[in-house]
Amino acid sequence: MWTSPTLWTAVGAAAACISALFAAYYTRLTFRLLRTQTEPNVVVYVRHDDSRTTLLQIVIENIGRGLATEIRFTPSRPIPARAWGVSVDAAKPADIMSEGPLIEGIPALGPGDSRRVTWGQYGGLMKAVGETPITLKYSYRYGRRMISGMAVLECHSFTVTDAVDSVDLRIINELKRIADGIEAVLAIQQRTSTRPS
């Protein structure tokens, strides 16, 4: 059976087009993968303060590998600040945040860099925020690109969680206790050595 050369030319051209499309798609995916490995990635979250266990912090952190600039935040409602009180019943009325990075923005945040804002104590924050979280939209620039994200500021998920001292703080407290004990022993030795015999 004889086939026309035009048919084989058409099949070859179609295969070349399909191959070119796959190559272009693969190149695009590779470019996007490489770009995401070198661009900044700003995240915002709430956590326990390691050194002051009754306090909650708002952390703004660049977990990416690029420099984020012109970081701006837009909350869904005013953010409470200095919300003190371990329990809701003992909580004092909170202030409204009027300064700091969440209000004024951050000019630049390098790779691995962060800002930590002392937000308040659990009881005070539960009284001020309640069970409805604050939605925080933010945007930042990477070169000419504008990147946006969203975070949730809430404290309800910290209900019945443990807030224990960090290992570093426990070691520091133990070393301080040992140092105080050594000072007491040295003071006793010095008193006994200076007494007339």
Domain coordinates in residue numbering, the chain:
1-38, 40-164, 166-197
Class of domain 40-164 as given by CATH: mainly beta
Structure tokens at 164: 């224990």
Return the DSSP state at 157. G
Euclidean distance between CA atoms 102 and 73, whole angstroms: 6
pLDDT score recorded for residue 52: 84
pLDDT digits (tens, 9 = 90+) for 51-74: 888 899 999 999 999 999 999 999
Q: Is 142 helix (H, G, I), strand (E, B) or coil?
A: strand
For 125-154, how does the pLDDT look when each residue is reduced to its tens digit (9 = 90+)? 999 998 899 999 999 999 899 999 999 999
Place of tokens 């200076």: 194
Query: In 3-state terms, what secondary structure has residue 174?
Result: helix
State what percent of residues in the chain have pLDDT above 70. 87
Q: What is the pLDDT of residue 78?
A: 96
CB-based contact 83:94 (threshold 8 Å): yes
Q: What predicted TM-score, i.e. pTM, was given to this entire model? A: 0.69
- Is 64:39 a contact under the CB 8 Å cutoff? yes
Where in the chain does DSSP place strands (E)?
42-48, 55-62, 68-75, 80-81, 95-96, 106-109, 114-121, 134-142, 145-153
pLDDT computed for residue 35 by the predictor:
61
